Amino acid sequence: MRYARCWRGSPGSHAMTVSVEQQVEQVASALDAAGLFFGHGTDNAFDEAAWLVLEACELDPSGDAIPWDQPLTGDQQASVQALLERRIESGEPLAYLVNRAWFAGHDFFIDHRAIVPRSHIGEWIPDRFLPWRTDRPAASVLDLCTGSGCIAVALALAFPEARVDASDISASALEVAEINIARYAVQDRVCLKRGDLVEGLGEVRYDLLVCNPPYVSDAIMDALPGEYRHEPALAFAGGASGLDFINRLMDQARDHLTDDGLLVVEAGSAREPLEALWPRTPFTWLMSENGEAVVFALEAAELVSSTRQSA
């Protein structure tokens, strides 16, 4: 989430009041001074401060027109201070404190039962994974490691013709997913399933298989910022190289795709070891808005000849 700075006056322009703009600047300074990590919906102190202030003041944090000049009441300033203190003292991601996160342009409920919605995959969902599936309907879609259900719901909204299966090994995460599925009234097209990888899916084949799996290596897990410690480790831990889950998915994905099916996976920090272990696989890496290319796409036919490097 990003907020455009819009300077409309000097700090002295409201002698007896504090504007939204001034409050955001004060909160940003406090967040910076506290040495917090920003990576759960924002990536800098200013954007997080704007989100925090707008949430605390019950103003729309998703709106295009931020009321920077609006003076805040004493109660609103007190709410901001209380939420700021919780953020600093607890170290929890702001999304957990306000039970809200955005993904693929949609607003989702979130709490500690699932990781905060975020994935570069979300950038490709609204355009239906152009250029792969734009002209091809997707009757059946699978979202593995669904967590909060954000990807599954976004897929259901982008592919109204599709039946979406959303699977996760965590019963707690699926409880959050159920909330978000009901929130967008897609219960008739999104089916939640509990299982490990493709467990419990039978012989169903999908036109589109999407997955944001655990891909964090043991070494990186040990060095994660404190904010990540509040999220379920199960959703991150990918083993020694980060490939424990992805390797199993690569081995099994072809058997669960239609002949012209598409596999889309976020490999994150495991990209390099993945390419080293699967050197004959023609990964197409999708460039994200921030310049990272950590999501790959593979056609079903490209998976046929994919083999893992011998140890």
User: From residue 261, how far is each of 74, 163, 187, 206, 213 by CA, in Å?
Assistant: 56, 14, 24, 6, 19
Which of 111, 78, 120, 106 lies closest to 92 in space, CA to CA?
Answer: 111
> 72-87: string of b/e by CB count within 10 Å (b at 16+)?
beeebbebbeebbebb
- Mean pLDDT for each consecutive 10-residue tract of the chain (311 residues)? 55 64 98 97 96 96 88 97 98 98 96 97 93 78 98 97 97 98 98 95 94 98 97 98 98 95 97 96 94 95 85 54
Please report the pLDDT score of residue 130 as a whole number.
86
- Other CB atoms within 10 A of residue 55 CB: 19
CATH superfamily label, 103-304: Vaccinia Virus protein VP39 (3.40.50.150)
The Cα–Cα gap between 213 and 270 comes to 11
Q: What integer pLDDT is reported at residue 309 of this predicted model?
A: 82
Question: What is the distance of C-alpha 128 from the center of its chain?
Answer: 17
> For residue 139, what are the β-bridge partners?
none
Look at residue 132 in the predicted model and tell me its pLDDT.
76
Q: Where in the chain is the domain with CATH 3.40.50.150?
A: 103-304
Round to whole Å and give the CA distance between 259 and 223: 41
pLDDT at residue 223, rounded to an integer: 97
pLDDT at 204: 93
Task: Retrieve residue 70's tokens.
Answer: 């609006």
pLDDT, one tens digit per residue, over 45-79 is: 999 999 999 999 999 998 778 999 999 999 999 99
Cβ contact 143:155 at 8 Å: yes
**According to the model, what pLDDT value does residue 10 have?**
42
Residue-level pLDDT at 65: 85
Q: What contacts 162, CB < 8 A, 6 or more positions away?
A: 137, 138, 139, 140, 141, 155, 156, 189, 207, 208
Regarding pTM above 0.85, the answer is yes
Predicted confidence at residue 12, as pLDDT, reads 41
Closest CA to 39 of 94, 83, 85: 94
